[in-house]
Every structure is written in C-alpha cells, then in structure tokens.
Amino acid sequence: MEARTVSDVITEIHRWREVLSDLPPARTETEAIDRITALEELTSVSAAAQARETLTFDMHRRNREAEEGVPSRSQGKGLGGEIGLARKVSRARGSKLLGFARSLLMDLPKTYASLKSGDISEEKARVVAKETDWLPRDKRHEVDDRMVDRLAEVGVGRLGNEVRALAQQLDQKAAVEHLDRCVEERAVTVRPAPGNMAYLTALLPLSQAVAAYTNLSKSAQSIVGTGQSEGRTQGQVMADLLVERTTGQDGAEAIPTEVHVVMNEDSLFDPGETPAWFPGFGPIPAKTAREFIADNEASVFLRRLYTRPSDGQLVRMDSKRREFSGLLRRMVVIRDDVCRSPWCDAQIKHADHSQAFAAGGETDWDNASGLCAACNFLKELPGWRHEATADELVVRTPTGHRYQISTRPIGTPMANSSELPRSNLTTEQMSDEANDPSLFKVRIPPLRKVEARRFKGKFESLKVDVWECREELPSVVEMCLAGQLTEFVSAD
C-alpha cells in the first residue's frame, strides 16, 4: 500500500461516507442481500480500523508524555474521555473502547485478524475480549489460537460460553479469583425504559439473585392463588412486592423518598399537554404526572422555578459561597438533568465550576455545570478546558478539538399570548424571591382578553381592551394539596 498523508486518508473516508449516504436502493432482492452482507463486512473492517487507531492514539500520547518527563503512572490520563468525544459516546464508554482496542491488538491477534477481514462482527470480538480479560496474556493467546476456527461458525451466545469454558479450563485458579472479584462488584442501578418505566437492576451473586427471585415468585403465586391479587398478574404482583419490601411501605404507590418532577403551571393545575420531566430519567405525559402527584400517598411539596419567557431557560442565580449547595445546586441538577458533558448520560454527582474557583471562576449560574464524578475530574487534567454559560457548554480537549452542547430548556417559550401579565417583577427580582423561604404565594387565575363581538357592539366604539377573570374549578392537584394543608393545620 502506498504511503499517504493523513489528510488524504481522511478525505478518502469522507468520500466513501458520501457515496454510501447517496447510495440508491437495490433493484433486486438478490442485490439487496448482497449489499447487506458487504456493508456488514465493511462495518467489521471499520471497527477493526477504529480499534487500531485507538491504540495508535494511546501510543502517541504516552510516547509524547514520556518524552516530556511525565511519570509513567500519570501517562495516558484522560484518553478515555477524548476517545468518547471523538466517537460521540460517554467517557465511560470511551474508556471501555480503549481497553477493548488494547486487548484485541495486543492479546487477541487472530480475533483481530478475523474482524479486520470482515469474517466476524465487532460484537463477537467484544465477547472474546470480555470472557478472557481476567486471564494472563499467555493464556489469552492460547484461547485466541484454539478458538480461531469457531469464531465465524457459532452465534454470539454460544461463542461466549465456549470461550469462558476454555478460559476456566486453562487457568482454574485465576477463574476462581475472578469470580471472587466479581462478587465485590455487586450493585444496584436504575435506568430509563420505554413507556415511562425504568429498569431497577441488581447485580448479585448467582445464589443470592436466584433466592431473591424465588422468594418474590412464591409470594406472588400465593397472593394470586388466594384471590388477593385484585386483577394483577403474577409478574405485576412480584414488581409491587419488590417496591413494598425495599421501601418499607404498605403499598407500592407510596413513594417515601424525595422525587423531583418538573412541569409548568398549565400542565400541573390545568389540563395542559406539555410533558413533565423527571431529572435524570426523562419525560412523562402531563396527565400521568398529575395523577402521580394527586394520587400519591406520600406528601407532595411544590417549589417555584422561574424561567425566561423567551426561551424557557431557568433564570440566573448567584452565590457568594465557594461550593454550589442548597437551592442553587438543586437548580443546576434540574437544569442539566444528567452529566452535562457531551454524550455522557451518567447521573450528576458534582455541581462544580466550569472555570475553577481558584482561577477566578464565580460561584454563579453561568459558571455552573452538573457533571458525573469522572467528567468533573477529567476537566482538571492538563489540556482540558470547559467554557460554560447557562445556555451551553464547550469542551476543548488536549488535541485542540472542540465539542459543544446546548442546555435543554425546562420550560416552553411563550408565543404571543392573550393573557395579561399579573406581575411587573423583573427576572432578577423574581430570582431573589425564589431564594426567600419565608414567601408563600398562591396562584392567581389569569385574565383573558374578551373578544369585542361578545358584547354585540357595546364597546366597539371605545378604544380600550376588556379583560375578565377566568373562573374555573380547582384541579385534582390543587384539591390534593388543599387536603394536605388542612391535615397539617389540624395536626398543629
């Protein structure tokens, strides 16, 4: 292959991308299948090339830092973050891709060759790397040699089982130690699911997981068998029992912990259609949110958040403290939803300064970012820089690349409205009031402009606008809050 400059290679890659983007549909069934096969092989070859370039990037960076005198234990810090940004994924995913590239090219050369030739998919190569990552290098080479003829013949699941069995056979001591380390990684996580649901996942030792599932299953079978399920299926009863037993509540509907739901006034008190938002998890229909608030057996509290009418962004807040805490931190978490770094969906752990406090950064709304712990530590490494406002975040990496992400508004921008504003407060004044815990305000029904034709010409000659108060019945949410307030006063 003739040597070409990097710019020529990138130009050629971009040309092929444009060719594939503009590719007309196949004319026959046979041609369509042939194209699918060829594109799948191209996908595998591209994955192999990405792995090779990832390892090359790692080597270049470490060599440069070694020449600059950086200690070996500090070399390569932040590489996962840069790779993640380049591939438009999270920092954690970028670190895994870097580890995969090292394993594939350094420890599994024949698996890499199969991927490079298009014989196997990237998924299969990942399975081989994952099932052997705990073996010494010489044993990984042996697994790679003995499995080469099976890579293209079996499915992903069977390939993983065969590789794991061979690895355990080659080094039983390391296999036992690996299983002991896996027990230390037990954890519980939650992530969004379609249909306003969520996956609550527990990574447990096999015996404990089976025992917990069996207990829930037998209890559910008993409830269904005795006719106490109230129309619920066994799976639904098991889910309800899990919530009741982990929260200590009498029913799965009562949520004892603090849950934030962000929604505008029209959707909270009126039958509006703007979705509500669970910070960190995503949107839910307005009607579902109203029912969640009104029907929940736990206490419900409201906090006012002011947004700019023009774009729906939260208003500015300032603090003289060095750390983001209290209401300011809560608003940062609500605004950013998940880690603010581009393509990182991790939960927010730190509300911190984009420009460091030591470098003159203010503890204010514009200089705040909600980040996961890893991304927050990453931005402190040499060559990294975060430039933030309340509306956007720009991330600059040591290679000079720039990545920008805009802040998602939590409110709906106001169009031309026929409602008369009920306050002359400025945005700054409203922000100051939002910080005053002694203030409590009730909702004032809005005024609506009356159409002149409703008065059959009586006011048509007058050059004035006529306004009326819109009378309406209280919503279910207002009735729920009124009931809680009554109980609170009575108890006092």
In angstroms, the CA 329 to CA 352 distance is 9
In the chain, where are the structural domains located? 26-184, 186-252, 303-441
pLDDT at 259: 59
Strands 350-353 and 385-388, sheet pairing: unpaired
Per the model's pLDDT, the better-predicted residue between 251 and 209 turns out to be 209
**E strand intervals along 364-486:** 368-371, 385-388, 392-396, 402-406, 419-420, 447-449, 467-469
User: Which of 216-225, 260-269, 352-361 bottoms out in mean pLDDT, i.e. has the lowest?
Assistant: 260-269
Residue type, 163: V
Residue 291, both tokens: 């029912």
CB 411 within 8 A of CB 313: yes
pLDDT classification of 105: cutoffs 50, 70, 90: very high
Calculate the CA dihedral of residues 280, 286, 292, 294 and round it to 10 degrees. Answer: 140
What 3-state class would DSSP assign to 187? strand
Q: What phi, psi does 221 have (nearest 5°)?
A: -60, -40
Highest mean pLDDT among 141-155, 215-229, 402-416, 430-444: 141-155
Q: What is the mean pLDDT of residues 323-340?
A: 75
Cα 26 to Cα 15, 23, 131, 317, 459: the distances in Å are 20, 9, 39, 57, 69
DSSP state of 355: S
Q: Across the chain, what does the average pLDDT equal?
A: 77
Q: What mean pLDDT do residues 438-445 have?
A: 44
What is the secondary structure of 124-146 as a DSSP string? Answer: HHHHHHHHHTTS-HHHHHHHHHH
- Please check the confidence at residue 356 and state whether its pLDDT lies above 80: no
What pTM, to 2 d.p., does this model score? 0.65
Neighbouring residues of 190: CB distance < 8 A, sequence distance ≥ 6: 198, 199, 200, 201, 281
- pLDDT tens digits for range 385-415: 888 888 888 899 998 889 988 887 766 665 5
How many alpha carbons fall within 13 Å on the CB side of residue 358?
Answer: 1
Token readout for 307 is 């947004």
Angle at 337 between CA 336 and CA 338, to 5 degrees: 95
Q: Residue 376: what are its φ and ψ, rounded to 5°?
A: -70, -40
- Pick from 245, 250, 232, 229: nearest CA to 298: 250
Give which of 203, 159, 157 is closest to 183, Cα–Cα.
203
Encoded tokens for 151: 């890579």
Residue 372, φ and ψ in degrees, nearest 5? -75, 165
Residue in this structure with the two tokens 């931190």, named with its chain if needed: 329
